[in-house]
């Protein structure tokens, strides 16, 4: 039996385990990336491990999220990350150099390598044939220290593309189509390989749009073959030497095969408040639009921006629309400026924002109250834009421009002839905003600079054999990490200050949660299916841990979040019979007895002391995970293991 692309990379990096679906596999990690919103915590954790230098082939620290500096906090964190990177062997990408995923693809990613990043959109690297996965900061810290990264061996899905995209139908529409087919839960436990005749017409930036948004499917990662298209891209980046060919074996076996005929695809749009709420753009025509944002790690490549510039050229943005453009990297911005495309963008009335995440994570450019915002981003979760009553839609850059020009949702196919964009033979290479680490000798005398915003890592609690606690919060299906630990301009600057962050935990669902949880001392949360979908932020586990949450019981969990809960020493449990979810009420007093025996047998009984009901729960952990939970989290476990 042959191998899929992902299986080949896993096989070449496997430190322990086997490739049986569902079993735990330990992987050697070649590269890591962090961004600043998760990076401060990840480097604090790395420092706690007491290692001098990273053991990866390449580790890069990006500053791209917390670029609004309305106080000392973000600037302090940037200075901390820069100094810790210099000391420990990590490359530092300065603020303004671009969004981590875009820059990593341009300058560092390599086909066939493993990459983990403390950001859920790390799978963008799959666009050039990397096995790239999002992870919690602590897992990234361990990997930087040379430790393995553990995944549950995923199933293999294949998406076969046939035909060719029609005018004004784009890679973003392919992403939205697969979300329509699979939903935000449909990729959980799977790696999605893209193939078929249709991929040969997709450039690396288009492939990267697709692998980027595979995150919204809940997939472990998404991957394209490394082929002639990849080779051309790497050569244009002056990195032809990094190319290796990579494809699946002809007799590779897939658990599921999905066919998409590109000839039949239409411009699509994701409606509020979920990326899988898909309809055709056509069907919403005439809906008034207040704001349009073009950028984010999904759609900010030179390819996207040149198209946008060509469509805006000689035209003026509708007076009722505010249009923002955030190029993905300094390389993109600089090349736009050199060829004059930037002038076309500016002349249209667009507002140029920094090469950073910006509005995607609510760092500025929030919509007006009850506003309609069309964004080329990957997430439209409730409140994420910073305006709770806004309606955020996700679209391609072409559909975004059509709305910006007309003031209403408009099928981009009405814009006339589609501009033909050719990728340059050579990108403009300027790595001056990437600071190399010090040599080991120089590093010894370097000081790490810490500001007052950085608070110590919160204390975790080892799991005990009996847990009695109140059900402090009961929530429904598809709770995102943006619900659990919101981000945005007001909160993000405190990512290295867990006590401060804790005031906003679950604010979107229940503002009284932090106070109630703290008063209880220890508590349990109950959720529906796909709990913790979305980002990789370990804060969505560390903050509940700080507030005393000891266990979370759900119908099912999202991959990165469940790992973060275990890393924080919080026990993730699932209902054996999902209908039992209905039997529990907020404020009930719950007891879990014989926890350790339950961990061994895989099943544990929950007693609801308030109603007398007994409920069987699944409690299936590997030996390593049991030890982590008993130690009170991965950091304590790693310290003990040495």
99 binds, among ligand SF4, ligand MIC, none (CB under 5 to 8 A by kind): ligand SF4
Total residues contacting ligand SF4 by CB under 6 A comes to: 11
Give the residue at shortest CB distance from ligand MIC: 535
Nearer to ligand SF4, 246 or 292 (CB): 292
The Cα angle at residue 353 between residues 423 and 390, in degrees rounded to 5: 110
H helix runs in 313-445, sequence order:
330-338, 341-347, 397-406, 440-443
Nearer to ligand MIC, 114 or 215 (CB): 215
If one asks whether residue 99 binds ligand SF4 (CB under 6 A), the answer comes out as: yes
If one asks whether residue 299 binds ligand SF4 (CB under 6 A), the answer comes out as: no
296 binds, among ligand MIC, ligand SF4, none (CB under 5 to 8 A by kind): ligand SF4
If one asks whether residue 497 binds ligand MIC (CB under 6 A), the answer comes out as: no
The residue within the footprint of ligand SF4, chosen from 265, 297, 382, 619 (CB under 6 A), is 297
The residue within the footprint of ligand SF4, chosen from 114, 378, 478, 536 (CB under 6 A), is 378
Q: Answer for the pair 392, 291: CB distance below 8 angstroms, yes or no.
A: no
Residues 432-491 that bind ligand MIC (CB under 6 A): 487
Site stretch for ligand MIC (CB under 6 A), options 347-355, 363-371, 531-539, 595-603: 531-539
537 binds, among ligand SF4, ligand MIC, none (CB under 5 to 8 A by kind): ligand MIC
DSSP of 145-183: TT--EEEEPPEEEEEEEES-PPTT--HHHHHHHHHHHH-
561 binds, among ligand MIC, ligand SF4, none (CB under 5 to 8 A by kind): none
Which H or E element spans position 634? helix 634-641
Report CA 434 to chain centroid distance, whole Å: 22
If one asks whether residue 33 binds ligand SF4 (CB under 6 A), the answer comes out as: no
The residue within the footprint of ligand MIC, chosen from 121, 172, 231, 330 (CB under 6 A), is 121
If one asks whether residue 110 binds ligand MIC (CB under 6 A), the answer comes out as: no
183 binds, among ligand MIC, ligand SF4, none (CB under 5 to 8 A by kind): none
CA–CA gap between residue 108 and residue 58 (Å, rounded):
8
- CA torsion sign for 535, 538, 541, 543 is negative
If one asks whether residue 82 binds ligand MIC (CB under 6 A), the answer comes out as: no
Q: Answer for the pair 142, 179: CB distance below 8 angstroms, yes or no.
A: no
Give 310's contacts (C-beta < 8 A, 6+ positions apart): 341, 344, 419, 421
The residue within the footprint of ligand MIC, chosen from 4, 7, 59, 120 (CB under 6 A), is 120
Q: Where do the DSSP E strands lie in 94-236?
A: 114-117, 131-134, 149-152, 155-162, 190-195, 221-223
Tokens of residue 126, six digits: 């799959």
If one asks whether residue 361 binds ligand MIC (CB under 6 A), the answer comes out as: yes
Give 582's contacts (C-beta < 8 A, 6+ positions apart): none
If one asks whether residue 357 binds ligand SF4 (CB under 6 A), the answer comes out as: yes
- Contact residues for ligand SF4 (CB under 6 A)? 65, 99, 119, 121, 296-297, 357, 360-361, 377-378
């Amino acid at each position: 039996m042959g191998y899929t692309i992902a299986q080949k990379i896993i096989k070449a990096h496997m430190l322990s385990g086997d490739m049986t679906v569902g079993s735990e596999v330990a992987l050697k990690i070649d590269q890591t990336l962090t961004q600043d919103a998760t990076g401060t915590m990840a480097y604090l954790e790395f420092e706690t491990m007491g290692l001098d230098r990273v053991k990866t082939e390449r580790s890069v620290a990006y500053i791209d999220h917390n670029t609004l500096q309305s106080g000392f906090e973000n600037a302090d964190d940037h200075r901390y990350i820069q100094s810790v990177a210099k000391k420990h062997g990590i490359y530092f990408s300065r603020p303004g150099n671009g969004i981590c995923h875009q820059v990593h693809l341009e300058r560092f990613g390599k086909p066939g390598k493993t990459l983990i990043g403390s950001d859920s959109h790390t799978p963008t690297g799959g666009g050039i044939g990397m096995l790239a996965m999002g992870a919690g900061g602590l897992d990234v810290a361990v990997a930087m220290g040379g430790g393995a990264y553990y995944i549950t061996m995923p199933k293999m899905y294949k998406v076969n593309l046939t035909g060719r995209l029609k005018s004004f139908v784009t890679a973003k529409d392919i992403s939205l189509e697969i979300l329509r087919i699979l939903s935000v839960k449909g990729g959980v436990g799977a790696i999605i390989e893209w193939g078929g005749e249709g991929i040969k017409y997709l450039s690396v930036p288009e492939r990267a749009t697709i692998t980027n948004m595979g995150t919204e499917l809940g997939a472990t990662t998404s991957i394209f073959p490394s082929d002639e298209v990849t080779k051309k891209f790497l050569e244009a980046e002056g990195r032809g030497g990094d190319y290796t060919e990579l494809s699946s074996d002809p007799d590779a076996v897939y658990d599921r095969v999905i066919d998409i005929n590109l000839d039949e695809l239409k411009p699509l749009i994701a409606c509020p408040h979920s990326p899988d709420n898909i309809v055709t753009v056509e069907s919403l025509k005439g809906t008034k639009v207040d704001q349009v944002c073009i950028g984010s790690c999904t759609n900010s490549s030179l390819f996207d921006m040149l198209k946008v510039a060509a469509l805006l050229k000689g035209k003026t943005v509708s007076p009722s629309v505010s249009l923002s453009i955030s190029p993905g990297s300094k390389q993109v911005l600089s090349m736009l400026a050199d060829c004059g495309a930037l002038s076309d963008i500016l002349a249209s009335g667009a507002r140029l924002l920094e090469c950073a995440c910006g509005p995607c994570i609510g760092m500025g450019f929030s919509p007006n109250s009850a506003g309609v915002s069309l964004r080329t981003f990957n997430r439209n979760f409730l409140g994420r834009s910073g305006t709770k009553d806004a309606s955020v839609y996700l679209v391609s850059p072409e559909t975004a421009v059509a709305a910006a020009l007309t003031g209403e949702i408009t099928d981009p196919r009405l814009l006339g002839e589609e501009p033909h964009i050719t990728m340059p033979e050579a990108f403009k290479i300027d790595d001056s905003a990437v600071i190399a680490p010090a040599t080991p000798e120089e590093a010894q005398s370097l000081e790490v600079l810490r500001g007052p915003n950085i608070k110590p890592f919160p204390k975790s609690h080892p799991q005990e054999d009996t847990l009695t606690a109140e059900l402090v919060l009961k929530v429904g299906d598809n709770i995102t990490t943006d619900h659990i630990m919101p981000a945005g301009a007001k909160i993000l600057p405190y990512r290295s200050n867990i006590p401060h962050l804790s005031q906003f935990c679950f604010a979107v669902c229940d503002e009284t949660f932090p106070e109630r949880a703290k008063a209880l001392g220890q508590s349990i949360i109950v959720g529906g299916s796909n709990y913790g979908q979305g980002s990789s932020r370990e804060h969505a586990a560390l903050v509940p841990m700080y507030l005393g949450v000891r266990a979370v019981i759900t119908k099912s969990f999202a991959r990165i979040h469940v790992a973060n809960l275990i890393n924080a020493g919080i026990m993730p449990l699932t209902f054996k019979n999902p209908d039992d979810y209905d039997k529990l009420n907020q404020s009930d007093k719950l007891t879990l007895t014989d926890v350790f025996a339950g961990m061994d047998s895989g099943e544990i009984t929950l007693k609801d002391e308030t109603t007398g009901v007994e409920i069987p729960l699944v409690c299936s952990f590997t030996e390593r995970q049991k030890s982590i939970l008993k130690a009170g989290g991965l950091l304590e476990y790693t310290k003990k293991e040495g």
